[in-house]
Amino acid sequence: MSQIRPPVCRETLTLCVGESRDRLCQRPLRAAALAALWLAVVLTACHPASPAPAVTPPSTAALPPDFTLLPAFTPAYPCELREAEVYDADLCRSERVRETAAARGAGVLFILREYHLGTGCYGSINVDTRELLVCDQHSGAVRSLTGSGPTERITSALIPSPDSTWLAFTTLVMGGADAGGGAEGAAIRPRVYRVSADGARFERLDTAGLPDFAVGAQGLRWTENGAWLELSLWDGGTDTWHACCLRADGSGLYVLPRSGSPPCDELPAEAQGLERPAIHD
């Protein structure tokens, strides 16, 4: 009678199963089940699952231009100031708005609105704006004086005239041809405005042109007679500011020499021949 021999494990199974080879060969009834189990283990070890696809940051390119995360705002009373901040991790986008009272006029409230937008998951791109609004304290109607774009930002407080009929302030414009200036157009230019106390009249005072060197302005104030606005213009150098007198109606500009010149307070309102003389030490 021939001897019945136990089944022989295949070489490939032996290589993968290792120490279980003898046990499998001696227990033929359990060999198929164990072999299937070990085969699954081997296939998983020898052929790991493909790595998960890289997560692509969400794109905001498809968002409409007027898209905002900020919740709708309905003032509870006329000229209520707004403050809110929102962040969306899925869009990698943050927004913040903050309004403060800049000045009170004749039946109106002048509001400074500061807005921040941050976009990008791995390196935020920030856009910040500073916009001047005027709000009717009876109806709550609001309108923008300087615009909400990032190219022009208000840079000073609102300075009331001696008779309280006007408020003057400066802005900084960034953006090539829109900034005006020299023949090629400066990238950064200051501007000077005045707005009536009731918000009805809004006028730019530097339409005749500030000196081509001016890339900043500070120290705005009115003379006591209200005929002139005094300010300092920056030429971009280290601590190089130039004192100037600007007529309150914007009709003329006088750049004060470094020495031997009367202050703006002493210039008569009807002074002639003072428009942009040469600067000298």
Based on the domain organization, do 277 and 200 belong to the same domain?
yes
Token pair recorded at residue 124? 């935020």
Residue 253: inside a domain = yes
Q: Please check the confidence at residue 186 and state whether its pLDDT lies above 60.
A: no
Residue 106: inside a domain = yes
Residue 4: inside a domain = no
Based on the domain organization, do 179 and 274 belong to the same domain?
yes
Q: Which residue has the higher pLDDT, 134 or 53?
A: 134
pTM for the full model?
Answer: 0.70
Q: Which of 199, 44, 36 is nearest to 132 (CA)?
A: 199
Q: What is the pLDDT of residue 276?
A: 46
Based on the domain organization, do 25 and 133 belong to the same domain?
no
Q: Which domain does 26 fall in, by range?
A: 11-44
Residue 80: inside a domain = yes
**Chain mean position to CA 83:** 16
- DSSP assignment of 108-135, as one string? EEEEEEEEEEEE-SSS-EEEEEEEEEEE
Token pair recorded at residue 23? 């046990």
Based on the domain organization, do 204 and 275 belong to the same domain?
yes
Out of 17-26, 117-126, 192-201, the most confident range is: 192-201
Residue 216 CA to residue 209 CA, distance in Å, equals 14
- Segment 105-130, tens digit of pLDDT: 999 999 999 999 999 888 788 999 99
Residue 162: inside a domain = yes
Residue 232 CA to residue 252 CA, distance in Å, equals 15
> In sequence order, which residues have a C-beta less than 8 Å from that of residue 279 and are 6 or more positions away?
211, 242, 255, 257, 258
Based on the domain organization, do 85 and 142 belong to the same domain?
yes
Residue 62: inside a domain = no
